[in-house]
Amino acid sequence: MDPSYKARKEAFVSNLSGSDIWDINVVSFVAPASVLLWSALQSRLSFFTPYSPAGLLTDFILNVLAILFATTAYSSAPLLLNIFLISPAVLLFLTQHRLRSPQKAKPVRKSKAKNDDSKEADSLPVHPFLTTYRAAMMVVTCVAILAVDFRVFPRRFGKVENWGTSLMDLGVGSFVFSAGVVSARAVLKSRASKSPKKAFLTRLVGSVRHSVPLLVLGLIRLWSVKGLDYAEHVTEYGVHWNFFFTLGLLPPFVEIFDSLTALIPSYEALAMGIAVLYQVALESTELKSYILISPRGPDLFSKNREGIFSFLGYLAIFLAGRGIGTRIIPRGTSPTKSPQQARKSVLMSLGLQVAFWSTMFFFNSTYAFGYGANIMVSRRLANMPYVLWVAAFNSAQLLLFCLIETVFFPTVHRATGKEAEEEQSFATSRILHAFNRGGLAIFLVANLLTGAVNLSIPTLDIDVPQAMVILVGYAAILTALALGMDKFNIKLRL
């Protein structure tokens, strides 16, 4: 890469100050707003059943392009885009009756989540709202990692240098949080199993094996960035560290803290404990200044201090996500609790999570009428306000997606057996289902395509129409990959 252009690229993503939380929330709301319209079309008109070319195009526009346009062409008017999406959904909801038996209007799609134990599958069902949440997070992530290199992507959405909030800062934490949510399924399966729990050392070795592929990917990314002289933002994670190393180190450390649930039976409490202790260390020692402003020494630890210490914050975020997952994944029914009551319990649990994390964030990041700590959010440190912000936002997103499913597809949480597969399929976007199912592969290809585009095109010098053509094509390629993997039953999740 030309040295002068490389310097321009690095300057383009450096020293950014982000935007306020309201702005981020309005842009992020496009995802549930799009799902709202998709749900209205499907539940009232069965628009996506059977899955015609028109249905595929509409699905792509709503659940992929809407997110892309919210962060680019509509970035100056995200509220208007939300109105465009919500208005027809409300109109359909008020004027059309819900289809009584949607599953009869479509062929049954082969289940992608086979489970030999039918009782276990019934107690830990696949939730369309959780699939939708995970997939929407993946779409936002994949869109942003390339769009940020073009001028059509506002600088306020890029990662801030030291202090502040931005869409991409939120995206990194949300990626970890969503991984924590779905990791709860393995925990719940282990708890429900009648076989003795494996020894801690055995579980730790297993988690290390799970980490190896991600750590290898981190090394490959490190080699490619250094070898190709690719533009990089050193203060993001450090000289050698990257996000794959953070993801790769999570499993063994999570396993260590999972063993502490015997003493502290709450993942949220463990997450808060890590966040509090880390914040105390930042405020009461020289750790904060060491991470932010100290000269980089010759040793690897000093060169990668941002990635090493921010890992504590991401670990807390992952555990917070796992805590919510253990509460919302089980069916929750019993001889004395109906499916409707179980769903109300899930909604109430999510509402309490939103209230808890939001309140903690308010008191931690503001003066809160003289009672708050007024600590600024820092994604670079992954400090306590950052952890609380990510947990509050994702809890709210889960609540919104769960509400949409409950209102438009109320039979989903009541169905069991083969009927449940039909209802889940009817209530889930084919594209979002595919993005969720092929998460790891799609994320890897998105990174490879991002590198290829940046090495072959001077993204800083591309005008808006050209940039949008490239980004739409990129989104279409990722969507085609996701649908292809889904069709051929290739499953590779994060």
Q: Which two tokens stand for residue 324?
A: 């919510």
Identify the pLDDT of residue 231.
Answer: 76
The DSSP secondary structure of 415-476, one letter per residue, reads --HHHHHHHHHHTS-HHHHHHHHTHHHHHHHHHHHHHHHHHHS-GGG--HHHHHHHHHHHHH
Residue type, 271: A
Q: What pLDDT digit, counting tens, does each position of 240-296 carry? A: 999 999 999 999 999 999 989 889 989 999 999 999 999 999 999 999 999 999 999
CA 410 from chain centre, in angstroms, equals: 25
Residue 377 has phi, psi (to 5 degrees) of -70, 140
Closest CA to 186 of 218, 155, 210: 210
* pTM of the shown model: 0.93
Summary mean pLDDT of the chain: 91
Closest CA to 439 of 206, 215, 141, 159: 141
In angstroms, the Cα distances linking 487 to 437, 480, 483 are: 11, 10, 6
Alpha helices of 148-166 — where are they, by DSSP H?
none
Residue 93 C-beta-side C-alpha neighbours within 13 Å: 15
**Residue 286 CB-density burial (10 A; 0-12 exposed, 13-18 middle, 19+ buried):** exposed
pLDDT category at 103 given cuts 50, 70, 90 is very low
Mean pLDDT check: name the lowest of 51-60, 265-274, 410-419. Answer: 410-419
pLDDT of 230 over the 50 cut: yes
Closest CA to 440 of 213, 253, 173: 213
Q: Please give the Cα distance from 279 to 260 (Å, whole number).
A: 21
Identify the pLDDT of residue 380.
Answer: 96
User: Which residue shows structure tokens 């924590």?
Assistant: 180
Report the DSSP beta bridge partners of residue 337: 334
363 and 371 Cβ atoms separated by less than 8 Å: yes
Q: What pLDDT digit, counting tens, does each position of 299-347 carry? A: 999 999 999 999 999 999 999 999 999 999 998 888 889 999 999 999 9
pLDDT of 100 over the 80 cut: no
Q: Which percentage of the chain shows pLDDT scores above 70?
A: 94
Identify the pLDDT of residue 220.
Answer: 92
Closest CA to 156 of 170, 143, 175: 170
| Nearest 10 degrees: Cα torsion 376, 379, 380, 383 | 60
- Tell me how crowded residue 492 is: count the other CB atoms within 10 A of its CB: 13
Q: What pLDDT digit, counting tens, does each position of 109-147 carry? A: 444 444 444 555 567 899 999 999 999 999 999 999 999
Identify the pLDDT of residue 110.
Answer: 44
pLDDT category at 348 given cuts 50, 70, 90 is very high
